[in-house]
Amino acid sequence: MENKQVVIPSFGEPEVLTIQSSPMPEAKPGEVVVRVAFAGVNPIDVKTRAGLGWAAAQNKDNLPWALGYDIAGSVYQCGEGTQKFDVGDKVAGFIGFPLQGGGYSQYISVPEAVLSRVPEAVTLEAAAALPLAGQTAIQALDKVSVQEGQRVLILAGAGGVGHIAVQLAVAAKAEVFTTCSERNLDYLATLGAHAINYEFAPVSERVEEADALVDLVGGDAALDALKCLKDGAKVVTVPTLSAELICEKAKLLGFEATGMLVDPNPEQLDAMLYLVSIGLLKTEIYQVYPMEQVVDAHKQMETGRTRGKILLDMQC
């Protein structure tokens, strides 16, 4: 049997992405082989493909390398000693992070402990949208310990991380302000946030006295957003590139500030899958691209303007 994978034989433009045929994986003890239905595409995939960041640095002598950390599919084979799943069960997971990757594969063997069961009521598309972005959203909100009644500002509420963060903060009964372009204003209002058009005026002219900032944009937008905060506010800045600069500035202004690196946590994925199954959390899928169109998927991701998530259909 064939196991097609999307790999990078070298770093570069989206066109370096190549489909290769690899041997079928075998489940080692404690592992299950997942037949991947959908793989999520994340900004880190694009960055690594381009040769930027430490996942690229660590894998530079390991090419061709299969990208991808988000998978949803079904259990194809169970290794010795596995107990959690049977063949055919629907599963999803945040796998191989940060150095192994491999999510852009039709079949992959992973420890069963890293996988979550996908409830009947949840589609595999929705499940594939959640792992990396959803866990980033939860962990970012935890860093600023969002409480009921607080005013929380989330930059880039329409993105993969943002649309989950907005919904979770609204569910925690915070008053949520979020930035987006004009075309996403209605969408974010329907999620329960005060949506602010960053193209119209800087957010600092529209929001004041916020208790917490979840920065998903970085750079100048984040520096401007610091002006929206009240004394003692908490800041988490998620894009790694500008994190040091933003934290330094935030601390000078007297705020508690931190960067973060998402840490895979299957219990958090379990919780989000449950919320989706009862209709309390909705994933937004911008587009599902057949695996063969992975170049277009990366080009779309690179626009930085995707609403929600992009997925690859690994079986068509």
Ligand X SMILES: NC(=O)c1ccc[n+]([C@@H]2O[C@H](COP(=O)([O-])OP(=O)(O)OC[C@H]3O[C@@H](n4cnc5c(N)ncnc54)[C@H](OP(=O)(O)O)[C@@H]3O)[C@@H](O)[C@H]2O)c1
Summarize as ranges the residues that interact with ligand X (CB under 6 A): 42-44, 133, 136, 155-156, 158-162, 179-181, 184, 198, 216-217, 221, 238-240, 260-262, 304-307
In the complex, residue closest to ligand X by CB: 159
Cβ distance to ligand X smaller for residue 78 or 158? 158
Q: Give the CA distances from residue 84 to residues 95, 102, 111, 144, in Å, rounded to whole numbers and listed in that order.
A: 17, 22, 10, 34
Cβ distance to ligand X smaller for residue 73 or 160? 160
Q: Give the CA distances from residue 167 to residues 85, 187, 190, 279, in Å, rounded to whole numbers and listed in that order.
A: 30, 12, 10, 11
Measured from the CB of residue 60, what is the shortest distance to ligand X in angstroms? 20
Measured from the CB of residue 181, what is the shortest distance to ligand X in angstroms? 3
Measured from the CB of residue 93, what is the shortest distance to ligand X in angstroms? 16
d(CA 7, CA 10): 9
Cβ distance to ligand X smaller for residue 25 or 43? 43
Quick one: three-class SS letters along 161-228? CHHHHHHHHHHCCCEEEEEECHHHHHHHHHCCCEEEECCCCCHHHCCCCEEEEEECCCHHHHHHHHHH
Single out the residue of 121, 165, 183, 146 nearest to residue 262, CA to CA.
Answer: 165
Cβ distance to ligand X smaller for residue 161 or 273? 161
Cβ distance to ligand X smaller for residue 117 or 309? 309
Measured from the CB of residue 289, what is the shortest distance to ligand X in angstroms? 15
Measured from the CB of residue 219, what is the shortest distance to ligand X in angstroms? 8
